[in-house]
Amino acid sequence: MKYCSNCGSPDLTHQVPKGDNRPRIVCGNCAEIHYRNPKIVAGCLPVWEDKVLLCRRAIEPRAGYWNVPAGFLELGETVEEGAIREVWEEAEARVGPLSLHTVFTFTNYYHVYIQFIGELMDGQFGVGEESLESRLFGESEIPWDEIAFESSRFALRRYFEDKERGVMQVHIGSV
């Protein structure tokens, strides 16, 4: 950050504000405290019978790699609405009902992934603007070396482990 987003001043310093316990960016002109907090990524693993729906990314980062449909939460959206929207945008598919599956934190990138599992309605899907292709995969067919993000690998592995045990639960992970 080079300028205060409140007043436009370049007079920014890193300091621990009164009543806080962490260094923040503080404007020396207007005293605005600028907090940097993680961004929420909402996603959903669509399932149909014994398979999961993945999308090959058409956009960076990791264009050409497979991913669980997910993206940044928009203002005014619930996490569930964001996950449903992302499945539509990436796979032109409808899912429901949703159940919480994983919460995955990327501490170095300041992202928190909240991913759900949702039944693929009528088994129908397509290819959205952000995808090169969409495809249903059984566990043995998943291209593990071509999965875009660790959060997707984590969600997929936990899904198939839960399925094998016959008990779905919420998993928490980080990197």
Count of structural domains within the chain = 2
27 with 57, same domain: the answer is no
- Give the CATH number of the domain where residue 94 resides: 3.90.79.10
Q: Which of 161, 159, 48 is nearest to 102 (CA)?
A: 159
12 with 56, same domain: the answer is no
59 with 10, same domain: the answer is no
31 with 45, same domain: the answer is no
pLDDT at 88: 98
Sign of CA dihedral 42, 147, 142, 127: positive
13 with 76, same domain: the answer is no
**What's phi and psi for 127, nearest 5 deg?**
-130, 115
Structure-token pair, residue 64? 């050409």
Find out whether 45 and 118 touch, Cβ atoms under 8 Å.
yes
92 with 122, same domain: the answer is yes
Q: In terms of residue numbers, what domain contains 149?
A: 39-174
129 with 108, same domain: the answer is yes
100 with 20, same domain: the answer is no
78 with 163, same domain: the answer is yes
74 with 127, same domain: the answer is yes
123 with 89, same domain: the answer is yes
Structure-token pair, residue 74? 């928009």
pLDDT tens over the chain, length 175 residues: 999 999 999 999 999 999 999 999 999 999 999 999 999 999 999 999 999 999 999 999 999 999 999 999 999 999 999 999 999 999 999 999 999 999 999 999 999 999 999 999 999 999 999 999 999 999 999 999 999 999 999 999 999 999 999 999 999 999 9
pLDDT at 82: 98
pLDDT at 171: 98
pLDDT at 4: 97
Torsion of CA 162, 106, 82, 137, to 10 degrees: -40
